[in-house]
Structure 1
């Protein structure tokens, strides 16, 4: 069964995350298929932009906790780099929940839109973790005060707040106009414009990717994180929240 479906129409290649049984978690297989889809779109002369969307009520829930291990942070960094490094714009359409690594994937996209059903939360601190590697594309784009609040509290928020703080570009009603604009761009114009727009994010990757990957791996290996992830999978409160 394919976990990332591909289609193309009028210059837009659509990659659809289709693993609803685990809320489109970033399993090794899903990541591999998504990387392949991005690479294929990058080589396709007829593709002006990539639209990344999803099935089910979750855009992406983050790491697949059943596969959690020391290579997970590195795999997420590779995926985010692939999105940012693609010489074609990547647009995310979210009409469901986005959590943890899913927010990093969202942040790596050049443009994003959210529907009324979208919700967002940085839940890492509740699991004994921190939003380490996902900060690479997010902190250059987020309002600093909002980042502090939502990183620390894990509160859930909706599409309007996501737009206000810079996590999302616009509401879903803007998608057609965005895609129409991208179709009108030349390959060279889009590539060089994207390079300008992502310069600060790319600098963050070059500067901090190694240290934040090490931090994430250290936290995942900790006793607190094991308790947090076990409590999540067992649908109970961790010991520090009782």
Structure 2
């Protein structure tokens, strides 16, 4: 599930870490493949989240990105790599999303670019999110012969059902204002950094215990969905990825042509 394209592996870290007055800032920094959820990026993100979870000086995590894309979803160039599939395939993606949801620190997303497919699940797993005017969103799976299976667990409990139905089925692109209206993001803002200031200021005032227990209350329903549905949805996703239709859809995408079913 991706809009990512093939890319050479960069030498530097794909997840950059910084700290700003109680906020650990994690920056997805693989712009050449549109911050796709490659095996390496997922591994680095797990490490950074674990470090933030154990940091006594961290009250919240800010997840942001370089380049014009927040996250394009899974890396199609690794689709046939068994080792990569273990990290970033359906079960690997479910594990990453659950890690964010269960993290005892609030996770805030700052989005100023495009979000597609599995990147939407990453966004949905965050507790709060601010999207700027350059952000766009689309559930592209149905156009590739796939379905937004695993990412539904953090998204469907939070999104307007009618909006989810429309955008899951049509694959239409929509903007930050619509993302906020549907519940996909917390707010749309012309200046995301200014909009984040009061949010981060509030989180800095929270006690570690108070933040962790308050987050547990608002994520309980989402975690119940993970407990109930992870195995079945991961199986669905794996089955679809292995299908002839999905192979045609992904090949057509990489070749920049319409798939055979488009008339």
* TM-score w.r.t. length of structure 2: 0.91
Aligned to 2:227: 206
Instruction: Identify the match of residue 70 of structure 2 among 53, 59, 65.
Output: 59
Aligned partner (choices 124, 149, 155) of residue 132 of structure 1: 149
Alpha-carbon distance in structure 2 between the residues aligned to 1:22 and 1:234 = 16
Q: 1:50: which partner in 2?
A: 61
1:4 correspondence with 2:25:
no
1:156 lines up with 2:173 in the alignment: yes
Q: Find the aligned partners of 1:229 and 1:7 in 2 and give their Cα distance.
A: 36
What are the residue-to-residue correspondences of 1:11-160 with 2, within 5 Å?
A: 11-69=22-80, 71=86, 72-160=89-177
Q: Residue 68 of structure 1: CA displacement? A: 1.3
* Structure 1 spans left out of the alignment, 5+ residues: none
Equivalent residue of 2:206, what SS? coil
- Cα distance in 2 for partners of 1:232, 1:24 equals 17
Runs of 5+ consecutive residues of structure 2 not aligned to the other structure: 1-11
- SS of 1:66's equivalent? helix
User: For 2:94, what is the secondary structure of its paired residue?
Assistant: helix
Q: How does 1:160-175 map onto structure 2 within 5 Å? A: 160-171=177-188, 172=192, 173-175=194-196
Shift of 1:174: 2.1
Total equivalences in the alignment: 242
Q: Does 1:224 align with 2:224?
A: no
Question: How big is the alpha-carbon RMSD for the aligned residues of Structure 1 and Structure 2?
Answer: 0.8
Instruction: Name segments (4+ residues, structure 1) moved above 3 Å.
Output: none
> Aligned partners of 1:192 and 1:78: how far apart in 2?
21
**Deviation digits for residues 188-224 of structure 1 (CA, Å, limit 9, x no counterpart):** 0000000000010000000001100000000000000
| Cα distance between partner residues in 1 of 2:13 and 2:21 | 23
Picking from 227, 236, 239, the partner of 1:215 is 236
